[in-house]
Amino acid sequence: MKKRAVSLSITLVLVLAMLLTACSSGTSSKPTSTPSDKTSKSTKSIAEQRKQLKGTLNIWMRKGEGEGGKPGDPFYDYIHSQFPNLVLNISPDKDWKDITKGLASGDLPDIFFWEGPVPSILKTITKDGYAEPLDSYLDKDPKLKNSFIPSLLESHKVDGATYGIPFDVMPVAVVANLDLFDQANVPYPTNDWTISDFNNDAKALTNKSDPQNMRTGLARNIDVEDYPRMLNFYLQGYGVNGYKEVNGKKVSNLAEDPKAITAIQNYLQTYGNNYATTLSDAQKKAMGLDTSIWDVDWEKGIAGMFVASSWAVPYDQTAKSYPFKVGVYNVPKGPNGRNTLVDEIGYSIYKGSKNKDLAWQFLKFMTSQEFRDNAYTTDPDTGGKVYPFKYDVNRYAFSTQYGKEIFGYGIPPFTTQYKLNDEFKTLYDGFNEAAKNTNNSYVTPDLLKLTQDVNSGKKQLVDALKEYDNKVNASHVLDNPPSW
């Protein structure tokens, strides 16, 4: 995903958290209640329970993220009103790789935020023992647990245990420029379309007969350097696991799996044919496009489809309109159904934390529908209120303007049926549908590179897959996944 696409969510969440730093003199590490309190916890309101929480939490954010705040800011006042006795110490230039260093110094988090492709991050933090399983907390809080889209929460599991909680999710879908579908006289996709439909549409949308006015089926989204969104849904659609079990160990077996061979062959029909690949730099220059913009063919309305997420939906904040008619559709299905990847901003609790119960109380608030509906800030330019996480009839895009900056982000991870305006609802519904079909798989850059070598004629598919299997098995990467 684009870095810009999620920076507001992380920044504002950081502001929310950091505003609480040193806001209380309480230092207890566990939730406490006053001795005179004779009312049972079960009968107290949620607000009362929060106000009685006392302690200190250490929060780690990804490198390069983080801003401060001060009393009087609405974010500060809102959070402080909920947790008046909670102190948060924020370290904005950390990530989970720093936990290893912190083991020696004792500088360790209670909660850490992360951003990116869910499966690869979860494999990293569980492999290294960084994350606490959260199922015992979720099972005791069925209201919160049941508020999440079931398959989305399920995708946060590794070996049956849940290690993360979603805050802002960006499920991969197919964003379509429906104006180009109209030009090419191609019927619009539906959420029930197939991989064959997708391949045929990519072919029908492409027209390179006029060098000054070309059209391509797909925007740039299938290079090794980019996330493996497209190849993943082909493999998932054909039911490819990518491994077999041998003596309790996972062994890569793509070369001997007919489903894997068929899936990649179908993928190469789209990737490998000229009608469905991104325009070359030379072709873009001939059309007067700025080749320094990585997705210029999409932004300028040259590409018919973009396998991407909410950040790829174009919206002109000044004109308050879309540059072309946009549709959002589930990734196409194959013989074994459909599944898709999800990028997100998520939370985990550090396994070594001594304040896990307190961390959970704060975590479940930050990931609640209540938070999304009520958290707001003030626009520094207009002085008006901005509700960056709220979805209602006043929202028209997956982006918002905060001061002079424009940011985009994902959708809420909940089953909530939002009341949205008609224009925005159709786009939201497309991503919401995709979020119901997320999975915990991941295509490696090595596998993407392999498909390019096959496409260019450097290697035969089965031979290349054997080479890939041997490399994966020699490194035991399936049992010891690399850090993201």
Judging by DSSP bridges, how do beta strands 385-386 and 161-162 pair with one another?
Answer: unpaired
Read off the pLDDT of each residue in 251-279 and give the average, rounded to a whole number: 86
Which residues touch 97 (CB under 8 Å, ≥6 apart)?
483
Q: How many CA atoms does the CB half-sphere of 264 hold within 13 Å?
A: 24
Q: What is the dihedral of CA 95, 100, 106, 112, to 10 degrees?
A: 30
Asked if the domains at 3-39+46-171+344-378 and 173-329 fall in one CATH topology, the answer is: yes
pTM: 0.85
Q: Which of 95-104, 153-162, 293-302, 314-323 has the lowest mean pLDDT?
A: 95-104
Question: In Å, how far are 37, 241, 411, 473 from 166, measured between CA atoms?
Answer: 34, 25, 10, 32
Asked if 203 contacts 272 with a C-beta cutoff of 8 angstroms, the reply is no
Please report, for the chain, the start and end positions of each structural domain, with discontinuous segments joined by +: 3-39+46-171+344-378, 173-329
For residue 5, the model assigns a pLDDT of 39
What are the φ and ψ backbone dihedral angles of 38, each rounded to 5 degrees? Answer: -105, 0
For residue 294, the model assigns a pLDDT of 79
Whether 221 shows a pLDDT value over 80: the answer reads: no
Read off the pLDDT of each residue in 427-442 and give the average, rounded to a whole number: 90
How far is it, in rounded angstroms, from Cα 155 to Cα 384?
38
For residue 69, the model assigns a pLDDT of 44
Higher-pLDDT residue of 181 and 376 is: 181
Whether 313 shows a pLDDT value over 90: the answer reads: yes
Is residue 252 classed as helix, strand or coil in its secondary structure?
strand
For residue 482, the model assigns a pLDDT of 54
Whether 23 shows a pLDDT value over 80: the answer reads: no
Read off the pLDDT of each residue in 149-157 and give the average, rounded to a whole number: 92
The first and second tokens of residue 330, run together, are 């589930």
Read off the pLDDT of each residue in 270-283 and give the average, rounded to a whole number: 75
Whether 200 shows a pLDDT value over 90: the answer reads: yes
How far is it, in rounded angstroms, from Cα 451 to Cα 333?
20
For residue 164, the model assigns a pLDDT of 94
Average pLDDT, the chain: 81
Asked if 169 contacts 152 with a C-beta cutoff of 8 angstroms, the reply is yes
Q: Which of 369-373, 401-405, 467-471 has the lowest mean pLDDT?
A: 401-405
Cα 231–chain centre separation: 17
* Largest interatomic CA distance in the chain: 82
Whether 247 shows a pLDDT value over 80: the answer reads: yes
For residue 479, the model assigns a pLDDT of 67
Whether 406 shows a pLDDT value over 80: the answer reads: no
Judging by DSSP bridges, how do beta strands 216-218 and 303-308 pair with one another?
Answer: parallel
pLDDT band at 83 (very low <50, low <70, confident <90, very high): confident
The first and second tokens of residue 186, run together, are 């191609």
- Work out the percent of the chain whose per-residue pLDDT is above 90: 39
Higher-pLDDT residue of 101 and 18 is: 101
How far is it, in rounded angstroms, from Cα 283 to Cα 412?
39
pLDDT band at 95 (very low <50, low <70, confident <90, very high): low
For residue 72, the model assigns a pLDDT of 58
For residue 241, the model assigns a pLDDT of 87
How far is it, in rounded angstroms, from Cα 403 to Cα 399?
13
pLDDT band at 133 (very low <50, low <70, confident <90, very high): very high
Q: DSSP code of 391?
A: -
Whether 419 shows a pLDDT value over 70: the answer reads: yes
The first and second tokens of residue 411, run together, are 């959708």
How far is it, in rounded angstroms, from Cα 370 to Cα 375?
8
Q: Which of 79-88, 183-192, 248-257, 287-296 has the lowest mean pLDDT?
A: 79-88
What are the φ and ψ backbone dihedral angles of 166, each rounded to 5 degrees? Answer: -75, 140
For residue 205, the model assigns a pLDDT of 94
How far is it, in rounded angstroms, from Cα 103 to Cα 130?
11
Whether 238 shows a pLDDT value over 90: the answer reads: yes
Higher-pLDDT residue of 14 and 213 is: 213
Is residue 470 classed as helix, strand or coil in its secondary structure?
helix
Q: Which of 350, 381, 293 is nearest to 94 (CA)?
A: 350
Superfamily for domain range 3-39+46-171+344-378: Periplasmic binding protein-like II (3.40.190.10)
How far is it, in rounded angstroms, from Cα 188 to Cα 276?
17
Q: DSSP code of 451?
A: H
Q: Which of 349, 123, 443, 135 is nearest to 452 (CA)?
A: 443
Q: Which of 5-19, 109-123, 307-321, 322-336 has the lowest mean pLDDT?
A: 5-19
Q: Which CATH architecture has domain 173-329?
A: 3-Layer(aba) Sandwich (3.40)
How far is it, in rounded angstroms, from Cα 258 to Cα 263?
9
